[in-house]
Amino acid sequence: MLNYCVATFKTQSTPMRIIIIFFQLLTSLLLTAQNFQLSPQQFGAIPNDGKDDALALQQWIDAVVANKQTTGYLPEGIYDLLSGDRGLYFDGANANFVGDGPERSIIRAGINIEAVARINAGGQNISGIKFDANRKANHGLLMLKGAYGSFHRCAVSNALQDGILLPGAFTYTPNSQEWSARDLKGLPDKKVFNDPLLWEEMSVGGNGVFYCSQQKLVIGGPDHTVNVLGGQLEYSASTQTLIARGNATFQPTAPLPKARLDDLVRIPVLYSSLPLSSAITVPGKAFFTQNDHRIRISNPALYNLGIRSGDQITLTKNGIIKNFTIAKLIFEGTHCWVSLFNPTNEPTMDNADFTISTQQIFCITEIIDDKTVRVVALHTNNLIAKLPISIPPSDYVIMTGDGVREEPGLDNHINIWIGGVFRGNAGSGRSLRGTAGHNIIGGLTDYNGGYALSIGGIARNTVCHNTSVNKFYSESNQCGNILLGRCKAAFINSVHVGTLEAIEHFADGTFSTYVYSGSEINGSGVQLSKATNGVNFGNWNFNISNDEGVPLIDNRGGNKAPVMPIRGRTVEVGVPANGFIDLPLEVGFYNYWVAPEVLNQHKYIPNVTLVGTQAPVSMTGMFNETYGSTGPATSSIKFIARIRNTENYEVRVKAIPTLQFVIY
């Protein structure tokens, strides 16, 4: 086990290798220290009989934690919890529990309880057990004081809310004389402590609840259910609120969970230049040129309407209909360019009408009442994260309950996730908002209603530091792949994603996010809002559009850093026949505490890459370089590039300004 661990994590930092080896040593020592096993059958539990095993299981757990020379062994079978309201308490530190595998050794909720298991003491080592909430329990695992614990090959499924919940700071309720974490019931003391935790080859799926206006939407595995509330939701751009109309609500009848902060809401939207009753009218016309693989739309406002990779666009003219899949939007002054997936040889279509099918995704930031919530739109390019257009009453999906949900808290950090499958959860596969130290290595995350992975605060002003994602595989998640909220220093390497954006970044101008990759992404592109305070994509193998400012991170090895290319906004222009244009260009970057000395010790080389034409167009010179501000804020290099066309007809090109920095 130790040899495997060192070989697998050789790309991690030395401190991280030490932490992982520590977990493995702790597990090994606990296993070798046990002289005998205790099973629930010794306390009266009978698996597979459909009767209550809660008391026998609790006595079994208490006996194991009281005697450190024992291992708690859960033989094959289904053990039912049919009494109590809070589930099983794992109260003793440094105890070891093993089962015959998550498909065989199952603890199942049979009534509405808070969680199948509450981890109230550190150093628990649990492997080979399934915690089945069975659509009865709110959570499978409730992590209150799980520090230095480890979970190996366990399964958590079918919770009404989150499969695994790491609650945040506790608050005191005078009336009940007990401490609680958000809406949780009586806790053993006044402090959450989940630092650090190791999760290895976990299976987390079918957790959470969809609330939707139509029964036709079913996402997830075979155990997933959909609760229909009916009605419709209306979005007000002026107040940034979602208002429930008819019999829609954000607060269903118990025991079903109500919507919470950071829960996601999806609303399907049609934008069209045609006066369709079901669409929001967006004036403009579309121009598609054969073999160009993109569409020009004569309305730049389209850029701020949250249209993403994977959305569908339909062109119509004189009864002719063409359907395309959008790769990304590029803003250019008086119009937008729509890049397309899958090159096509369709004939040219000028002055056509267009209809775009998308879904607006909102994050709940405030619960006003059971009919109204305040939200932010996650995919708008507006600086202050406002969708600039109201949406009339529409169908909706509310996603409450993540596979793993980590609430903000000073002692929720250094969670190490190795492998595993996170599938078919109503919300995101993992929603992590602890202080620091998330390390995600490998695993599959697919068919979740939210994102595959959401990191950092959105509804609340909490910042997540130092996240590492490596060899991450994401496919068919309804909202997207990786959502970065308020983060600092996210290291992302070797990620495989589907057709939606690989990485999406929400920011409100308050916090800075840094992303670095020394490897590659297989899949789609990147969606970045203009509010992005800093994203360094170093060696990524695809282009990034609309990166208003990117950070300059000093990742020096020895005395010199590598040459770091940084891109500015793409500009598309027409170059006259047998002529030239002098095109003003700018590349912005962001300097922060990671490398405070960089601006005073660097050499930069401005350049321009020309794409979009086979004609012999060339850049023949640059001049008038202007260096921007030098403080710890957004800075830029401005220059003018002379672009010459040697053909006897006008040629349109894309000019991508770049800088190469050599940091000494």
The 10s digit of each residue's pLDDT in 208-218 is 988 888 765 55
Task: Decide if pLDDT at 45 tops 70.
Answer: yes
Q: Please name which of 509, 500, 511 lies closest in space to residue 455, comparing C-alpha atoms.
A: 511
> Which is more confidently placed, 586 or 173?
586
**Residue range 225-246, pLDDT digits in tens:** 567 888 899 999 999 999 998 8
pLDDT, average across residues 60-79 = 93
Cβ atoms of 315 and 348 within 8 Å: the answer is no
Give me 297's structure tokens. 């739309």
Dist. CA 7–CA 395, nearest whole Å: 50
Query: What was the pLDDT predicted at 526?
Result: 44
Rounded Cα distance, 154 and 150, in Å = 10
Nearest to 606, CA basis, from 582, 588, 580:
588
Burial of 615 (0-12, 13-18, 19+ CB in 10 A): middle
> Quick check: 472 pLDDT over 50?
yes
DSSP conformation letters of 62-100: HHHHH-TTEEEEE-SEEEEE-S-SS-EEE-SSS-EEEES
Report whether pLDDT(620) > 70: no
Closest of 590, 619, 593 to residue 606, by C-alpha: 619
- Determine the pLDDT at residue 540: 32
CA dist 129 → 108, 116, 150, 318, 430 (Å): 11, 12, 13, 62, 20
Residue 64 has pLDDT above 50, yes or no: yes
Residue 381 · residue 303 · CB < 8 Å: yes
What lies within 8 Å, CB to CB, of 614 at 6+ separation is: none
536 band by pLDDT with thresholds 50, 70 and 90? very low
**517 closest CA partner among 539, 544, 487:** 539
Least confident residue range of 266-270, 593-597, 649-653 = 593-597
What's the distance, Cα to Cα, between the start and end of the chain in Å?
Answer: 42
pLDDT at 417 over 80: yes
Q: How large a percentage of the chain has pLDDT more than 90?
A: 33
- 484-506 mean pLDDT: 65
Residues 210 and 162: beta-carbon distance below 8 Å: no
- Average pLDDT over every residue of 114-127: 91
Q: Does 196 sit behind a cis peptide bond, omega within 30 degrees of 0 on the bond before it?
A: yes
| Mean pLDDT to the nearest integer, 600-625 | 58
- Please determine, for residue 130, whether its predicted confidence score (pLDDT) is greater than 90: yes
pLDDT of 266: 93
